[in-house]
Amino acid sequence: MLVTTTLASFLVVWSTLIIVLSAGSVAPEADIISDSILSRACTRSQFIVAKLISRAGVILAVYAVGAGLTGFVAYRYAATDVTLQTLLTSIGIVGLAVLLLVALGVLFSVVFNNTVVSVVALLLLWYVASPIFSFLGADYLSPASLIRNLPAMLKDPQAPQVVQCSATETSVSIAFSKHVDPRSAEDPSAYSIESPTGVSHQAETAAYDRPRTTVTLSGLSFTPGEKVTVTVRGVTDPGGTTISAASDTATCTVPGVSPRTEAPKSAKPPHDRTAPRLTALEATQSSLRATFSEPLDLKSAEDTAHYVVENPVGNRQSARAATYRSDTRTVLLSGLNLDLAVPVKLTVTDVRDTAGNPVSVRGNSLIHAEVTAWKYVLGFGLPAVCAALLAVVWFNRRDL
């Protein structure tokens, strides 16, 4: 919330000051530009480039200090669900929007040759930009849309997952895919334990090891050789995102030989032991197409119960049908109702390859987002460069 408010202030509040500083860079000197150029022994290009660099340098430096300090405080001390990557990406995207505003301001100052007209024109363009960008098919580039998307851009899109477990005769250790909230992780009632299937156990204590992102459940009693199944409920990450319902269970075996189990017959291990992974995800308004790293077992691949679709993340829906194509290793999930303006997450469980290997818990989910960082980079960065070049060309051709 703190970072979103700070970044949004540069797009709404401080943008007015940025417009005044940039749109008033050349016009006030209209009557003395020729004398300024001759007295400084510089060319027209050098003069206008110096204006661009000085305005952009000062404004971006102030922005970097303000946004950087806020980002550091939020990342270091606040209990928010942001990562360093999402933080830097959001700050960079808003910085490009500020740079575009500076370049447009200098261009308007050159074209209109009047400070008041330049400032008013750019104010109208900036604050009434949504209809223009909507007409161009890029509504996400408008300041209002960017502010709405900032919380989603800053938030870590990945929900915590249970990746593995290990057991002894008196304890179970659960490993998570990311850091979780210690208060929810250290609640013993958040863990449902069965060993063997149908026989419930309740841990007395739960201790969270943050560096290893693991929780150790103690005060238990298991039989050597028995399987232990742990299901996690209600554990969240520091930002409040609940553990993924598609990856909240893990099974492990207590070391030793169970007296109730006969020694297994020796069997030749399968040649292929590589777990399949999700490698790509495409979305339309009614379907998802998931690509896997290996050929899949047809029966498990076409079971819709093995796919959890979230749109937005946290809001689940189910596909009506799943169709597998072996030649492309893709599964088409149809019968969905997706809003592509927000991220779409797919999590796969129990799908197996042709050798019987289950999908990897570290590669069983992907997120599809229509608006990605590179689109913002092109959407703000390219027009900023074009505006700066146009300002240089226009200034070189105008009468002084």
Q: Looking up tokens 């020729």, which residue turns up?
A: 34
The whole-number pLDDT of residue 374 equals 79
**Domains of the chain with bracketed CATH:** 2-156+374-397 (no CATH), 162-253 (2.60.40.1220), 278-359 (2.60.40.1220)
The whole-number pLDDT of residue 268 equals 45
Q: Looking up tokens 């226009």, which residue turns up?
A: 394
* Rounded average pLDDT per 10-residue block, the chain, 400 residues: 84 89 79 64 82 93 92 73 81 93 92 88 82 69 81 76 87 88 89 88 87 86 89 85 81 75 49 85 87 92 91 84 87 87 86 90 83 80 92 82
- The residues, ordered by sequence, that sit 6+ positions from 29 with a Cβ below 8 Å of its Cβ are 36
* Tokens found for residue 330: 């893709």
The whole-number pLDDT of residue 115 equals 86
Q: What is the largest CA-CA distance in the chain?
A: 99
DSSP letter assigned to residue 242: B
Residues pairing with 352 in the sheet: 358
- Of 302, 242, 280, 287, which is closest to residue 368 (Cα–Cα)? 280
Of all helices (H) and strands (E), which one includes residue 176?
Answer: strand 171-176
